[in-house]
Amino acid sequence: DIQVTQSPSSLSASLGDRLTITCRASQSIDNWLAWFQQKPGKAPELLIYMASNLQSGVPSRFSGSGSGTDFSLTISSLQSDDSAIYYCLAYKNYPLTFGGGTKVEVK
Amino acid sequence: EVQLMESGGGVVQPGGSLRLSCEGSGFTLSDHYMEWVRQGPGKGLEWVGCSRNRHNGFTTQRAASVKDRFSISRDDSGNLLYLQMNSLKIDDTAVYYCVRYDVDAARYRLWGQGTLVIVSS
């Protein structure tokens, strides 16, 4: 089974900051990686799929990159609405594997 | 409106059983892979299992942690997905989400709102 290591587990940044969250898979998953945003009491929402494809309706300040084993989610200019927990998901094969999550606080 | 709606959650004693339902509206459930994902209180997301689409025979896969206790099935006539949970453990306490996988676009865009299962004596 593929293991996914997500880092950092939490971070605090200021409005307008650029921030990056990373996920590392234990073996190559090509581009089969997605990123989700989850706010308290809500279901996760898809941000990025196939490593770098921005889901329709998601602000362009979000971007994803990477392939193989190393991936990143970047928020180019942090907004107050971006306070949330972010998860990556490796989905090349079953079992699907989520990263442990990154809690983002906007100062 | 295209949406998923889970139901069937509740409080159950350890060792008990519960069946969750996920109803699709605005689309045909059988055309899609469907996943169950859960989230324990204050914890991250955990994949539980899947049901492949009609084209792939509705075959299922389950996480090792639930493989001998949970099963996934469908009711095509009702556009429904089920998660039958037996021999429930306290660690199964979680919000359970059903999720649609769009094979053509390779993405998990549609999630239900979740249903809460509490396993407690």
Q: Which residue carries 């997605």 as its tokens?
A: A34
- Check residue B76 and give its pLDDT: 79
Q: With a cut of 80, say whether residue B91 has pLDDT above it.
A: yes
Instruction: Quote the CA–CA distance of B46 and B52 in Å, as a whole number.
Output: 18
Residues ≥6 apart with Cβ < 8 Å to A8: A21, A102
Name every residue in B having a CB less than 8 A away from some CB of A: 35, 44-47, 50, 61, 63-64, 97, 105-109, 111-114
- Over residues B10-21, the mean pLDDT reads 98
Please give the share of chain A, as a percent, with pLDDT higher than 70.
100
CB spacing of A46 vs B109 below 8 angstroms? yes
Please give the share of chain A, as a percent, with pLDDT higher than 90.
100
pLDDT digits (tens, 9 = 90+) for A61-105: 999 999 999 999 999 999 999 999 999 999 999 999 999 999 999
Measured between CB atoms, does A91 come within 8 Å of chain B?
Answer: yes
Structure confidence at residue A48 as a pLDDT band (50, 70, 90):
very high
Q: With a cut of 80, say whether residue A41 has pLDDT above it.
A: yes
CB spacing of B63 vs A50 below 8 angstroms? no
